[in-house]
Every structure is written in C-alpha cells, then in structure tokens.
Amino acid sequence: MTRGVIRGARIASVGISLPERVLTNEEISRTLETSDEWIRTRTGIRERRIAAPDQAPSDLAAEAGEHALQRAGVSAADLDLVISSSLVPDMVFPATAAVIADRLGATNAGAFDVQAGCSGFVFALASAVSFVGSGMYSNVLVTGAEAVSRALDWTDRSTCVLFGDGAGAVVVVPDPDAIFTFDLGTDGSGMPLLNMPAGGARLPASLQTVEARQHFLKMNGRQIFRFATRAVAGSCATVLDAAGLSVEEIDLFVPHQANLRIIDNVAKRIGVAPERVFTNLERYGNTSCASIPLCLAEAEESGRLKDGDQLLLAGFGAGLSWGTCVTTWRAG
C-alpha cells in the first residue's frame, strides 16, 4: 500500500468521448434470459454505450484527449507525457498511450500504459501528478478509455450486463497551491476473482482456449462485492486521515461506477450523505477506467462540482486493486 501527499499539480480540464450506440436492458433481454427489472434491481444500470466495430480504446481516448486539451488551452505539441489506463487496451503491445499520442500529434511526449484494473485511472492520475509536482514535466494527459464490450461473453448474464464503453481524459498542469493526497493498494492474491484467463504468456491463445471461452472477462461478483466495500471504505478513511480532512468536509464523492449497491454500501460505511455522491451508472454501466473521468466531466457540467470543492475519488478493480485520492477542485 502506498500513500502520500503531492503538491504542485492540478487537473486543468476534463474531456470525454462516448460511442453513439446505446444498448438497453430491454434489448439485452431479447437474446438473454434476463429482464430490465432484474438488471436494474441488482446493478442500478438501465443502459450502456457500445463502441462501434471500428472503434478501439485509443480512438475514444484521442477524442476525449482533444476535448481536454482544448479546454485547458494546451496544444498536443506541448504535452510532455501521455498516460493511458484501460482494462481492455487496444492490444497487448505496443502501449495504447503511444497510439493516442500519435493520433493527437503529441510528437514531443513520452507515452506509457498503466494496468491496474478499474483502478487504473486513479493510478495513472497519481503518476501524472507526481511527474508534474516534481517539476519533471509541465503538461501531462491522462486517459481512461474502454471498449470492454469486446471482452464480454454475451451468453454470460453475470458479466455482460454490467459493462459499457467510453473514454475520459484530464490534463494535469503545474499549480503551486494545489495538493493531492493518494492511497494506492493491491492484493494480488485476489487475481482469480477478476481476470481474462487467456491471451497472455501464461495461457497463450490456442484453439483450446478459444473453445473454452477463456478470452472473455471472468468475475466472481459476490467476492468482488465484498472486497470492494471493505477495501474502498478503508482506503477512503486512510486518504482522508492523510489529508487531514473529515468526511463531512467532502463536497463530492466520485466512486468507480461498478454497481449501485457497492456505491451505496461504501457511502454508508464512510458516512457520505447520498446527495454528495455522484453516479451516472444508470446510463453508462461500468465503464472501468473511464468511469471516474466521465463522472468528473458530468459533475462539473451540471454544477455538482464547483471551484474550491473538496473532491474524493475512489477506484477499485482487477488486481485486486484500489486507489483513492483527495484534492481541492479548481475550475479552469
């Protein structure tokens, strides 16, 4: 577990990109033994976005990155670094971040991927804030982009109804008055609870792995629920203590959008009032690494997130991993 206070960097802007295709619960129920009511009562999800056949995470991330750069007033040529986070990247290698940088024209930027499951965006943000806060770099683009639908077994009701596609991006810039406090953690013993078994060096692709449907996302939902509620609540308490803040001082809590019951459970455990919890799960489902930046963009646009607000972010996912942070939001 790693926690720390980082000074000298802030989020300057947020950009998002969403596929046009909307897949509703009712549409899923036409080909799968389920219903809109069954999905909503267990997850809180009504619909989700699905990437077009020719859309990869890098395509969505590049569009989100363009919006974020425009809003920050930063040109792609001025980027020092691009960091990408995805549960299901474009490919095993090269880094999706390299593709994003090329698409944007960030010819002067280094680029790398962060793989930390659905916690990836918070881990990537911690990296960006560290680079900028140290003075090593001035402009860093962080993306969370997903086409998780490509990794779903659409005959598996326990997983395929949960996820959606989309992307979010933030630009991190210097600010001498800004402070971030992070808590990052991983428990590798939970690897079997959420993974894609085949396609890597441990279990290379073969006719047998394809026939066994091992190239799809596998998840033990009950155990992930228990892990998430325990680990996220504990991490939130840790990061608030490190930041010297009480939960009553938090203006907006933005958790990873995995399941509404998990979000409600965590909020109750840490004592955050429902009106200070932001969710968009109903319309987008679990967009993995994209969920937190999508929420940030919508919260700011709707007036739920204002200049000077104390913001608490919390991610969790495969690894098993968790990542939380606290910062004061600065508009523009």
Q: Which two tokens stand for residue 222?
A: 């009950």
Give residue 252's identity as a one-letter amino acid code: L
Given the residues 67, 139, 160, 256, select the one marked as catalytic.
256
Distance CA 35, CA 21 (A): 20
Helices (H), the chain: 25-28, 36-43, 57-72, 96-104, 120-133, 157-160, 207-211, 221-243, 260-270, 281-284, 291-302
Q: Is 286 a catalytic residue?
A: yes
Q: Which two tokens stand for residue 94?
A: 């090269």
- Closest to 51 in 3D by CA, of 290, 215, 211, 258: 290
Determine contact, residues 143/168, Cβ cutoff 8 Å. Answer: yes
Distance CA 9, CA 128 (A): 9
Determine contact, residues 194/224, Cβ cutoff 8 Å. Answer: yes
Cα-based angle 223, 44, 296 (whole degrees, multiple of 5): 95
Q: Is 139 a catalytic residue?
A: no
Residues 6+ apart with CB under 8 A from 238: 3, 183, 324
**Rg value, the chain, Cα:** 19
Cis peptide bond N-terminal to 197, omega within 30: no
DSSP 119: T
Q: Is 118 a catalytic residue?
A: yes
**First and final C-alpha spacing in the chain:** 32
Given the residues 118, 160, 289, 325, select the one marked as catalytic.
118
Given the residues 265, 286, 295, 325, select the one marked as catalytic.
286
| Location of structure tokens 């750069």 | 69
Catalytic residue numbers, as ranges: 118, 256, 286
